[in-house]
Amino acid sequence: MAQAKTLNERELWRVLGYIAMRKHAARNRAMLLLTHMSGLRVGEVAALRIGDVFGDNGLARDEIRLRAEQTKGRHPRTVFLGEKIRKELNAYSMSIDRSQTTKPLFYTQKRDGFSANTLAQHFHYLYRRAGIAGASSHSGRRTFITNLANKGVSVRVLMALAGHRNISTTQAYIDVNDGMKRAAVELV
């Protein structure tokens, strides 16, 4: 089975442009960018509750503490949120009632929380409609890890950010591209 496509900046902007012109733009943008900017798995995005992400002050937290039941391997972990994704989440929060902290953060059109499967299908639909071939619900996570590797972040830090238990799993996520190879030979 082929790995999910790693998106370049232009492709990500293309998907975001498609999202901006459709219903539920703030929700779809926030969900997608959580995978691209924080490396969350689609199942982890679907499992988020309002109180996981927003503090008592109503603003997005600096970090999300995922409980074991919210993660793939059933191991709790902390996900760090950078300033850009916090801004996105704060913008999205204007469209929801943050007072019910145990409710799902993201809802379907039927007002149910997404399941991991329905969200994976939704991401596949968004990528396909935006014309990004080979992209899937895992593309954001692969793009996150590859971009950080390209910026020189150590594989050990990447492993911790991804919540992997084995360094070889993290290494398989890193998409080696021509830009990385060019930069490498310039180091000599």
List residues with catalytic annotation.
Answer: 41, 72, 138, 141, 164, 173
Torsion of CA 121, 60, 95, 19, to 10 degrees: -40
Residue with tokens 């991804």: 162
Q: Residue 125: how many CB atoms within 10 A of its CB? A: 10
Q: Which residues contact 6 (CB under 8 A, 6 or more apart)?
A: 139, 142, 143, 146, 175, 177
The CB density around residue 183, as the number of other CB atoms within 10 Å, is 12
Taking CB atoms within 8 Å and a gap of at least 24, the contacts of 148-153 are 149/174, 149/180, 150/177, 150/179, 150/180, 150/183
Q: How far is the C-alpha of 85 from the C-alpha of 111, rounded, in Å?
A: 24
DSSP H stretches of helix in the chain: 9-20, 25-38, 42-47, 50-53, 83-93, 116-129, 139-150, 155-162, 167-173, 178-186
